[in-house]
Structure 1
Amino acid sequence: MSSLDAQGHEWRAGLRFPWPVPPANGEVQAVAEGVLWLRMPLPFGLDHINLYLLRHGQGWVAVDTGLNNRQTREIWERLFEQALGGLPLLAVICTHFHSDHVGVLGWLTERFRCPVFMTASEYQAMHQLGGQGDAGSSWAFRAHYQKAGFSAEQTEALFPLLNSAHFRPEVPTSFHRLREGSELRIGGRLWQVRIGRGHSPEHACLYCVEDQLLIAGDQVLPRITSSVCVQVTEPDANPLREWLESLEHLRSVADDVLVLPAHERPFFNLHLRLDQLRDHHHAHLQQVLGACTLPRSAAELMAVLFPKVSGRFDELMALGETLAHINYLIAQGQLGREEVAGVLRYSRTPDGVEAKPVLGQL
């Protein structure tokens, strides 16, 4: 349920949205002096990404880029002449390496010969993403999904998606490194870098204390939850632990900040949203534990957490999220695992018996 207040702001689930209606795809909306919100389309169920444009002297700084496809480039070309008034991009800041955030980064920086600012871990992950070979030729991909309980047919059906050109960004050859506490002066504002983890290795958020603005990327979204996934590249990773720790770290940002997220609409009431995200994952952890009174595969547990998965992309994300919750519980000593007929199965540890954390599966 939602309602509008006297200012015309929408209230939904305790969050306040100053703009009840977002800009159309490819259009911009001013959200503060010298800050434009750009809605860039995506060809998925989640059909957009929010980019932000910051005025700086006689040009602009872009935060994130959109997906690597023709439509994204065409929209940028129109923006250069219209919304940006023919002024150049002076720099591109990337919150993290995911393809909808860095897809045309190389194209933009080559066109304007401008620098890239991002964290070192995200830069390295972006190059790995851009340079990875055919996923379908890797035995590790097949082993990962089949151990999770996918059939051979299900696993093979994932490879066209994994090899899509959409997920291969154009990458630059150099960058300027952002760290926790780094400061960037853009226009008349000083932006502090706050690092989040779990959704990606070293996600950079930008916080302007003076004007109470937080460019949050995918680290805090207002309605949906960011994907927190275990991938084939590190099957024993514990991204959910890092994610929950990052939510607590972001409480150092003022509650009355205007959050500028990468998806959906800008909103107020940051700390309530952090509570909601924490509670969401704790509820999923309890669901997994409740289902593991008997040994279950990751695919079986995925059906518990995500009973309405539609399409291969959602299936890929749902399995990654399920494994993140499984690995968190293994690290907590609440689940054990055993390989049976080539499939890993997970079950609760007996009360009073602490399972030893598992490293690898030999």
Structure 2
Amino acid sequence: MQRVAIEVPEPGKPVAVADGIFWLRLKLPFALDHVNLWIVDDGSSWTLIDTGLGDATTKAIWDDLLAGLLHGRPVRRVLATHFHPDHAGNIGSLVERTGAELLMSRTEWLTARMLVLDTSDDFVASGRRFDLACALPEDLIESRSRRGNYYRRNVDPIPYRFTRLQAGDRLELAGTMFEVIVGEGHSPEQVTLHSRERNLLIAADQVLPSISPNVAVWPSEPDADPLGAFQRTLARYVDVADDAMVLPSHKTPFTGLQQRIEQLQRHHDERLEATLAACRQPSKAVEVMVRLFPRALDMHQLSFALGETLAHLNRLVVSRGIVKETDAAGVNFYRAA
């Protein structure tokens, strides 16, 4: 794997990364402190690929871009690769302001729209049951409950109308045809875009350099197997050339996709071995998490670490490497089969 020799842009200042494609980097208030977006020059109009977090700082940057780089030609399409707030945060306001067509996969649109509208008591109650089953300390359960539906704070209302993207669809961007390859695991139906003619892959969060995409279990589907889906999904990129330029949503563009995919598969195989070793004696999910992530975690990182731990535990439950048992209090224990 090799980093592409392109200077990282200043936050909010787009730079050309390929013919007709601009790289826009925005700040995030998390440990992973940035997200990469892509602005596509379609000749007579623009396509925006992802929109950043729906906070005031990002909205101000879009104000500047609409008055600057994007001024004079319409924004015809807004494409959200997946529902996560750093990708879908501003699609509502941008679609409303520009009249653009919203492009998403159906599952990502449904998930985003459901979450941004959810004010139900069951949202918090399900989170508490999830945390209890993982054996989180009571003070953490209370803190996480008080956050409520944190998703709604960082994402605009999701438009009711959209155009569905699905695997195999072809889309013209910057005068070139791109094919949709759907990734799973990190999110349910993530859109990535491959141009064989350009030898270019817009990879979203499916394949990242130097870090592994977060693959996690969430309270809405506690028995899910996202890691199995993620590992199976990587095989869909076998026909993308190893020397293709990959535009990821975090870190920097790179080449060596097939090598990177092998590294990701090996990483998760090693984490599965470590998870199995952590379950030699019956263990709670929080105990396994501490063994896999032996460092201080803030509230944001805790959610990802716990979800990632459960993804590896659930993968081993599905493959019958470990057995899950639940006690009378609703706490889950995991032991090697």
**Which TM-score applies when normalising by structure 1?**
0.89
Shift of the 168–297 alpha-carbon distance from structure 1 to 2, 3 Å rule, reads: same
Residue of 251, 254, 262 corresponding to 1:275: 262
The alignment of Structure 1 onto Structure 2 pairs a total of residues equal to 335
Contact preservation (8 Å) 1:94, 1:102: yes
Aligned residue type for 2:173: I
| Alpha-carbon distance, 1:187 to partner | 3.3
Could you say which residue in structure 1 is the equivalent of 2:79? 93
| Alpha-carbon distance, 1:16 to partner | 2.8
Distance 1:136 1:18 in 2: 49
Contact preservation (8 Å) 2:124, 2:149: no
Contact preservation (8 Å) 2:118, 2:149: no
Residue of 199, 202, 217 corresponding to 1:230: 217
| Alpha-carbon distance, 1:167 to partner | 3.6
Could you say which residue in structure 1 is the equivalent of 2:21? 35
| Alpha-carbon distance, 1:211 to partner | 0.8
Could you say which residue in structure 2 is the equivalent of 1:117? 103
**Which TM-score applies when normalising by structure 2?**
0.96
| Alpha-carbon distance, 1:85 to partner | 4.2
Is 1:342 equivalent to 2:330 in the alignment?
A: yes
Could you say which residue in structure 2 is the equivalent of 1:64? 50
Could you say which residue in structure 1 is the equivalent of 2:90? 104
Contact preservation (8 Å) 2:215, 2:311: yes
| Alpha-carbon distance, 1:136 to partner | 8.4
Shift of the 343–327 alpha-carbon distance from structure 1 to 2, 3 Å rule, reads: same
Aligned-partner SS, 2:185: coil
Contact preservation (8 Å) 2:12, 2:26: yes
Aligned-partner SS, 2:10: coil
Aligned-partner SS, 2:39: strand
Superposed CA RMSD in Å reads: 1.5
| Alpha-carbon distance, 1:248 to partner | 1.5
Aligned residue type for 2:184: R
Contact preservation (8 Å) 1:51, 1:65: yes
Which residues of structure 1 form unaligned runs of 5+? 1-13, 350-362
Is 1:241 equivalent to 2:258 in the alignment?
A: no
Aligned residue type for 2:20: G
Distance 2:298 2:84 in 1: 20
Aligned-partner SS, 2:254: coil
Residue of 72, 83, 91 corresponding to 2:69: 83
Residue of 279, 302, 307 corresponding to 1:292: 279
Contact preservation (8 Å) 2:21, 2:174: no
Distance 1:161 1:269 in 2: 40
Aligned residue type for 2:247: L
Once the two structures are superposed, the pairs formed by residues 15-34 of structure 1 within 5 Å of their partners are 15-19=2-6, 21-34=7-20
Aligned residue type for 1:241: G
Provide the identity percentage.
Answer: 38
| Alpha-carbon distance, 1:35 to partner | 0.4
Aligned-partner SS, 2:255: coil
Contact preservation (8 Å) 2:123, 2:149: no
Aligned-partner SS, 2:63: helix
Could you say which residue in structure 2 is the equivalent of 1:219? 206
